[in-house]
Amino acid sequence: MWASEMEIITMVFIMNGYADYFQACGTRVVSHHLNQRIWPQTKIIGGSSTPYGAYPWQVELQAYKGGWEHHCGGALVSETIALTAAHCLKDFKKSQLRIIVGKHNLAKNDKHEKTYRVQKAIIHPDFRKDGPHSHDIAILKINAFNSNGIKFDSHVQPICLPEYYTKSNDVDWCTVTGWGAQKQDDMTSLPKVLQAASVPLLDLETCRHNDVYGGRHQFILDSMLCAGSLEGGVDACGGDSGGPLACQINGKFTLAGVVSWGDGCGKKNRPGVYTRVSYYINWIKKAMLELENN
């Protein structure tokens, strides 16, 4: 029997030095317990402040707008690769972007913080092909100071990638993190420290319902994932874009989604919509291999 494309890519992935990645990814030294509840927690919107190092795969993406400013989030998936949302990159050249790992407090330099320039950015070729928010995913190659890339430590670690594509949700609740606005349409309300919120995953049928996102300008594609209570109150918001939706599976955190879009922040019947990372796993692995070898 011929091996599937995914099996072949995974074998090449391992042969190119990623065997250790599968062992070490998705782990953390600093724990953080979030209540799984559907009412507001404090104000990601509805999130809570995190202890430093609890989400070591979280990266900050800054953009140069006359000075370096917080722009989006991202997720570290290897020593040299981070994932983010494609819409975070559309108005900027790579020279106008930089990545900060080990970041926690936007108001000061953190102990494990390091800043890197973007060496290369790949936006998914079908971005916006199937609607204004479709295929909203991009890969960043980090311009590290040496050929080995970022040095992992207690506060800087990669998150696991999904092993395969699935429409179903492997778990019921996941965690979204970021430094996004705590009030809708108010980018002056960015928190000082990284916020996290536990959000329930919704099936596609629920998200496509007429009372939710059915019949709107963007159809909910199989490549999207909805998370958040239909009662509202807890959600990602402006400035969280590109950040990780992390799900704990078999004791390790896996990147299930990338913060993409929504109608407002924390509104009733308007859950957050994420790029479903598993849908793009073959494209991601191929691009990572290409970037690592160039």
Assign residue 179 the CATH number of its domain.
2.40.10.10
Residues 14 and 128 in one domain: yes
User: What pLDDT score does 44 carry?
Assistant: 61
Same domain, 143 and 69: yes
136 included as an active-site residue: yes
Confirm whether 205 is domain-assigned.
Answer: yes
More confident: 45 or 96: 96
24 with 121, same domain: the answer is yes
Domain match, 219 and 92 both = no
Q: What's the one-letter identity of residue 240?
A: D
Task: Tell me how far apart the terminal alpha carbons of the chain are, to the nearest angstrom.
Answer: 33
47 within domain boundaries:
no
φ/ψ of 175, rounded to 5, equals -120, 130
The catalytically annotated residue of 136, 198, 223, 235 is: 136
Would you call 154 helix, strand, or coil by DSSP? Answer: coil
> What pLDDT score was predicted for residue 11?
61
In a domain, 164, yes or no: no
Give the highest mean pLDDT range of 11-20, 96-105, 164-173: 96-105
Structure confidence by residue, pLDDT tens digits, 52-94: 999 999 999 999 999 999 999 999 999 999 999 999 999 999 9
Residues 223 and 264 in one domain: yes
Instruction: Give the mean model confidence (pLDDT) for residues 20-33.
Output: 84
Domain extent for 177: 173-278
Is the domain of 285 the same as that of 266?
A: no
Give CA–CA dist 155/29, Å, rounded. 8
Q: Are 141 and 211 within one domain?
A: no
182 falls within a domain: yes
87 is annotated as an active-site residue: yes
What tokens appear for 284 in the block?
């991601």
194-212 pLDDT tens trace? 999 999 999 999 999 999 9
Question: Is 45 inside any structural domain?
Answer: no
User: Is 231 inside any structural domain?
Assistant: yes
Percent of the chain with pLDDT over 70: 85
In-domain check, residue 166: no
Residue 182 has a pLDDT of 65
Predicted confidence at residue 229, as pLDDT, reads 87
The answer on pLDDT for 259 being more than 70 is yes
Compute, in degrees rounded to 10, the torsion defined by CA atoms 40, 42, 44, 47. Answer: -70
pLDDT band at 189 (very low <50, low <70, confident <90, very high): low
pLDDT band at residue 113 using 50, 70 and 90 as cut-offs: very high
φ and ψ at 169, to 5 degrees? -100, 125
Catalytic site residue 241? yes
143 and 253 in a single domain? The answer is no
Query: Could you tell me if 142 and 198 lie in one domain?
Result: no
Flag whether pLDDT at 266 surpasses 70.
Answer: yes
If pLDDT is split at 50, 70 and 90, which confidence band does 9 have?
Answer: low
Confidence label for 43 from pLDDT (cuts 50, 70 and 90): very low
Q: Let me know whether 12 and 108 are in one domain.
A: yes
Which residue of the set 70, 71, 87, 124 is catalytic?
Answer: 87
- Which residue did the predictor score with more confidence, 51 or 164? 51
* 18 and 136 together in one domain: yes
- Whether residue 3 is predicted with pLDDT greater than 60 in this model: the reply is no
| Whether residues 80 and 222 fall in one domain | no
Identify whether 100 is part of a domain: yes
Number of domains, the chain = 2
| Residue 258 neighbours by CB under 8 Å, 6+ apart | 75, 83, 84, 85, 136, 137, 242, 243, 244, 245, 274, 275, 277
Other residues' Cβ atoms within 10 Å of the Cβ of residue 53: 23
Using a pLDDT cut of 90, give the percent of the chain over it: 67
